[in-house]
Amino acid sequence: MNQPLHHPAVPYGRDFNVTDRVVIVTGGGQGIGREYARQFAAGGAHAIIAEANLDRARAVEAEITAAGGSALAVHTDVGDPSSVDAMVTEVTRVHGRVDVLVNNAGIFTSLKMKPFEDIPFDEWERVLRVNITGCYLTARAVTPSMRAQNWGRIINITSGSVPLGVRNYLHYVTSKSALIGMTNSMARELGADGITVNAVQPGGTFTEIPRETITDEGKARLIASQCIPREEVPMDLVGLVMFLSSPAASFITGQTIAVDGGLTHW
């Protein structure tokens, strides 16, 4: 009989602890990413805010450290391989390793809705470069550290727009759809190394970031379509992301899990 790959010293099924984990959150300077960083730090993890806007990243870092948590702001353009590699080098210099990657950075709120044939080619390329290539680059950069310790968590943030087939955001929906495929394939490649790869699928989550394309009427229709008829907020996503980052989720990989109040049913 084949022996198990791992012989945990503690019962993984009861270990929800993220204390001392080194957690990179891309796009952690605002919105849902900010909440991930704040809550990981509150749980005792070292939160890395990998963010293109360094001022925002430093503001979140200051917020976390003022509350007694551990945080590090690092300027990161996820679409630039050299920037991603430099970020991971800095994290390993400070903390010695990477335990968790939350691939949260993406272009969405700044996009204007338009028919797919009207999307400028440079906009199409920019969205795919950040939303899907950026996730590939960051996952590639953290994998050596995770392999070295035979433990790691990669969590890709996709979107409920994929199963819904939302109109007039073809580049965004395409990128988030590709991210699900990347999750499935990457899980196959990394499972034997003790690294799990999963995707979290948020619904229409409302943050401090303004969204001109959402009207009060549209928001009401969205909420009415959910099984749980209330507004989704960033904290609704935190529990699943932290669970998938913990030892308790060691046998879950290659999954896409919706957190949307029942808006979509796979």
Residues forming the active site:
172
The whole-angstrom separation of Cα 217 and Cα 88 is: 43
How far from each other are the two terminal CA atoms of the chain, in whole angstroms? 35
Residue type, 217: E
Residue type, 109: T
The whole-angstrom separation of Cα 243 and Cα 224 is: 28
Q: What is the largest CA-CA distance in the chain?
A: 60
What are the helix (H) ranges across the chain? 31-42, 54-66, 81-95, 121-128, 134-149, 161-164, 170-190, 216-224, 235-244
Cβ proximity of 84 and 103 under 8 Å: no
